[in-house]
């Protein structure tokens, strides 16, 4: 009978019961634990924390488990929890120069103070399926070396010493940073808000945009000045105390992209920057973000805005995968009221077309 959706309430409950069953899968296989996810699917956890905008490995692991491994769904779960958390303020700027580095590479100097530290990376692995991993296997402890305690100044600082790269646009120590989770995005958007948007943005979307800029759609001549991954301390200025107190340590990946800049009549040529930062070890994300950040600075640097990656309204309005997936998938919702209205119009237009064609004469001016 007509409303097939009658009894929708019961159908929804059944669908959710079925989902729980599918999530668990074969009961004879052990249930996956959150520890297994945080330890062995750590990069998935990193991505979910980054795009979910919440640094909490355990909640991210729970979200991944609940989402059956669908990372965008997991990001969504984390976001809806985050949005209910009170916001006390913004932390002090992270001092990534004093990072406890696990990996640090520069593509623009063969060697540099502190050296190149490869750390745990897929780079240079041969992408051959490892049958050994299909079985339970003992993994040997990795080789270690004594910490040389060598300071690792950011490469961009070394360039800045010689005036070869633009200074970091100082946001003025006490300037408030924007927060697009508390204030709606408005255009033109300043760099703090743009970077926040990019940090939350879908990795795949940024990857494609960054890639497009490399292929000539808004070329920025990028060099990977430095990529570093490790732990940094987060500090928060406690008003009552009058000084910053440490809140804890988080793992982040930072990418400083070095880009060309021609200079102008009243400015000597020097390099410009693109910046990327992501929670955990998320190099693809941090690099893509840095490429897009630089491309979006076109307006500020007086470049022609011709490509999608340079168009801030295009990029910032479509970068959020929680928004995007919701709107794309809402097409699953019933639209029969609108469709019926369209159907009526198309039938009417077709009837008029047929009548006109049957009349043999030319169609009368439709604007009459």
Q: Return all residues near 278 (Cβ < 8 A) that are at least 6 apart.
A: 46, 50, 199, 252, 253, 285, 286, 289
Give least dist CB 201 to other proteins, A: 15
Residue 263 corresponds to which tokens in the numbers above?
A: 């200079």
Nearer to other proteins, 109 or 353 (CB): 353
Which parts of 283-322 interact with other proteins (CB under 8 A)?
313, 317, 322
Among 327, 351, 355, 357, binds other proteins (CB under 8 A): 327
Give least dist CB 40 to other proteins, A: 19
What is the spatial order of strands in the sheet that 100-105 belongs to? Answer: 100-105, 222-238, 243-259, 272-279
Stretch that binds other proteins, among 117-125, 208-216, 301-309, 330-338 (CB under 8 A): 330-338
Nearest to 108 by CA among 220, 224, 214, 222: 224
Name the strand (E) or helix (H) holding 244: strand 243-259
325 binds other proteins (CB under 8 A): yes
21 binds other proteins (CB under 8 A): no
Task: Report d(CA 199, CA 36) in Å as an integer.
Answer: 26
Nearest to 223 by CA among 104, 112, 107: 107
64 binds other proteins (CB under 8 A): no
Task: Report d(CA 336, CA 29) in Å as an integer.
Answer: 43
Nearest-10 crossing angle of helices 42-52, 203-214: 90
Give least dist CB 290 to other proteins, A: 25
Which parts of 266-285 interact with other proteins (CB under 8 A)?
none
Stretch that binds other proteins, among 80-88, 98-106, 149-157, 260-268 (CB under 8 A): 80-88
Binding mask 83-112 for other proteins (x = CB under 8 A): xx-x--------------------------
Nearer to other proteins, 57 or 104 (CB): 57
Task: Report d(CA 163, CA 38) in Å as an integer.
Answer: 43
Which parts of 170-209 interact with other proteins (CB under 8 A)?
181-188
Burial of 13 (0-12, 13-18, 19+ CB in 10 A): exposed
Nearer to other proteins, 167 or 335 (CB): 335
Nearer to other proteins, 49 or 257 (CB): 49
Burial of 340 (0-12, 13-18, 19+ CB in 10 A): exposed
Give least dist CB 23 to other proteins, A: 18
Stretch that binds other proteins, among 106-114, 210-218, 289-297, 337-345 (CB under 8 A): 337-345
Concatenated DSSP letters of 98-129 = G-EEEEEE-SS-SS-TT--B--S-STT-----
Task: Report d(CA 111, CA 162) in Å as an integer.
Answer: 18
249 binds other proteins (CB under 8 A): no
Interface positions with other proteins (CB under 8 A): 1-3, 5-9, 11-12, 58-59, 62, 76, 79-84, 86, 181-188, 313, 317, 322-323, 325-330, 333-338, 340-345, 348-349, 352, 366-368
């Amino acid at each position: 009978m007509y409303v097939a959706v009658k009894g929708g309430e019961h159908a929804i409950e059944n669908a959710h019961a079925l989902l729980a069953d599918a999530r668990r899968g074969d009961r004879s296989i052990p249930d996956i634990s959150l520890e297994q996810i945080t330890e062995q699917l750590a990069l998935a956890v990193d991505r979910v924390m980054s795009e979910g905008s919440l640094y909490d490995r355990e909640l991210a692991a729970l979200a991944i488990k609940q989402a059956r491994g669908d990372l965008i769904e997991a990001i969504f779960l984390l976001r809806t929890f985050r949005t209910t958390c009170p916001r006390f303020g913004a932390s002090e700027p992270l001092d990534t120069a004093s990072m406890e580095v696990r990996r640090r590479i520069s593509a623009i100097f063969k060697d540099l103070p502190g050296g190149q530290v490869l750390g745990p990376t897929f780079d240079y692995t041969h992408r051959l399926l490892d049958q050994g991993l299909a079985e339970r296997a003992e993994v040997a402890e990795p080789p270690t070396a004594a910490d040389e305690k060598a300071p690792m100044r950011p490469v961009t600082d070394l360039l800045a010493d010689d005036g070869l790269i633009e200074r970091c646009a100082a946001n003025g120590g006490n300037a408030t940073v924007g927060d697009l989770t508390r204030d709606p995005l408005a255009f033109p958007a300043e760099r703090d808000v743009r970077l926040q948007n990019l940090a939350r943005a879908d990795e795949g979307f940024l990857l494609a945009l960054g890639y497009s800029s490399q292929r000539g759609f808004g070329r920025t001549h990028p060099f990977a000045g430095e990529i570093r991954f490790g732990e940094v301390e987060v500090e928060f200025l406690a008003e009552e105390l009058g000084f910053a107190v440490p809140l804890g340590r988080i793992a982040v990946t930072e990418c400083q992209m070095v880009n060309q800049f021609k200079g102008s009549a009243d400015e000597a040529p020097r390099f410009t920057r693109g910046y990327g930062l992501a929670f955990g070890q998320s190099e693809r994300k941090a690099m893509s973000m840095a490429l897009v950040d630089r491309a979006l600075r076109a307006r500020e640097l007086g470049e022609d805005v011709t490509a999608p990656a340079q168009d801030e309204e295009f990029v910032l309005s479509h970068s959020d995968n929680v928004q995007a997936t919701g709107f794309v998938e809402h097409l699953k919702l019933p639209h029969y009221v609108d469709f019926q209205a369209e159907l009526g119009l198309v039938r009417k237009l077709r009837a008029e077309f047929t009548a006109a064609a049957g009349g043999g004469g030319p169609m009368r001016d439709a604007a009459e």
